[in-house]
Amino acid sequence: MIKPNTPPLVVIMGVSGCGKSSLATRLAKHFDYRFLEADDFHCEQAKKRIQQNLPLTEEIRESWINRITVFLCQNLQPPTVLAYPGLRREHRQRLRELGYHSIFILLHGDKDLISQRMNSRDGHVLPSSVLTSQFSALQLPENEPDIFTLDLQQSPETLTTTSIALLNQAFAL
Ligand SMILES: Nc1ncnc2c1ncn2[C@@H]1O[C@H](COP(=O)(O)OP(=O)(O)OP(=O)(O)O)[C@@H](O)[C@H]1O
Ligand SMILES: O=C(O)[C@H](O)[C@@H](O)[C@H](O)[C@H](O)CO
């Protein structure tokens, strides 16, 4: 049950290209929640590294989550769906401590399938080193009962329907 003055925060998480933005926009539309894309909070240095297919440093990830949490604290009221990789446990914990009722959905699955999808999206080949480094940076849920893991190989429609049911139950909407 959502507590009064505790807006829902739904975090769609997972490695680059797992389908976060796709699912998050569908959920935001369904629930009429604010949609936030974590990529919009990147600093210039991060953008350059992403363009060059270089992994983010831990320092960059730290300043990135700082900007996101400051924004969420300063704009607390609206219920929100956030597309954010959340690869580090510590950064997920930061999101739990903001005064929202947070629930996480992790899109997880096969690296090769993500490669295929990304390559057909961008029209150019994504080096496999990028995804390899994303999978090694991902700290899988451990004692985090507020994270639901869904297999990314499912269709967008199935992922959306399953997520809506999970969220209805979690928030008792
Ligand atoms: N369930 C799905 N089935 C098939 N294709 C999908 C699915 N979800 C997303 N895609 C496709 O995979 C690609 C990556 O999806 P999306 O941009 O949503 O991922 P992302 O995790 O937000 O990526 P990034 O980390 O780069 O922002 C897109 O081309 C999208 O249309
Ligand atoms: O490594 C991470 O912490 C993130 O996954 C980023 O590197 C994403 O790749 C970037 O936001 C582009 O989507």
Residue-wise pLDDT for 109-135, tens only, equals: 999 999 999 887 656 667 889 999 999
CA 4 to centroid of ligand 1, rounded, Å: 34
If one counts every other C-beta atom within 10 angstroms of the C-beta of residue 70, the result is 12
Torsion (CA) 77, 83, 89, 90 in degrees, nearest 10: -50
Q: Is residue 1 part of a domain?
A: no
Burial of 115 per CB tally in 10 Å (0-12, 13-18, 19+): middle
Predicted local confidence at residue 1, as pLDDT: 62
Is residue 113 one of the residues assigned to a domain? yes
CB contact burial 9-45 (16+ within 10 A = b; e otherwise): bbbbbbbbbbbbebbbbbbbeebebebbebbebbeee
Per-residue confidence (pLDDT) for residue 123, from 0 to 100 = 62
Instruction: Tell me if 13 is assigned to some domain.
Output: yes
CA separation for the pair 45, 171 (Å, rounded): 37
Cβ–ligand 1 contact at 53 (below 6 Å) = no
User: What pLDDT, on a 0 to 100 scale, did the predictor assign at position 149?
Assistant: 98
2 assigned to some structural domain: no
Give the distance (Å) from ligand 2 centre to CA of residue 49: 10
Is residue 3, in this structure, part of any structural domain at all?
Answer: no
Residue 63 is part of which domain span?
8-171
Q: Which two tokens stand for residue 49?
A: 């590294």
CATH number at residue 79: 3.40.50.300
**Can you tell me the distance from the alpha carbon of 69 to that of 67, in angstroms, rounded to the nearest whole number?**
6
135 Cβ contact list (under 8 Å, min separation 6): 15, 111
Does residue 158's CB lie within 6 angstroms of at least one atom of ligand 1? no
Q: Which of 16-20, 50-54, 106-110, 119-123 has the lowest mean pLDDT?
A: 119-123
Question: Which residues make beta-bridge pairs with 106?
Answer: 13, 149
Candidate from 56, 111, 139 with most ligand 2 atoms within 8 A of CB, to mutate: 56
Domains in the chain: how many in total? Answer: 1
Higher pLDDT, 2 or 91: 91
Q: Is residue 133 part of a domain?
A: yes
Average pLDDT over residues 1-12: 82
Res 9 pLDDT > 90: yes
Q: Judge if the beta carbon of residue 56 lies within 6 A of ligand 2.
A: yes
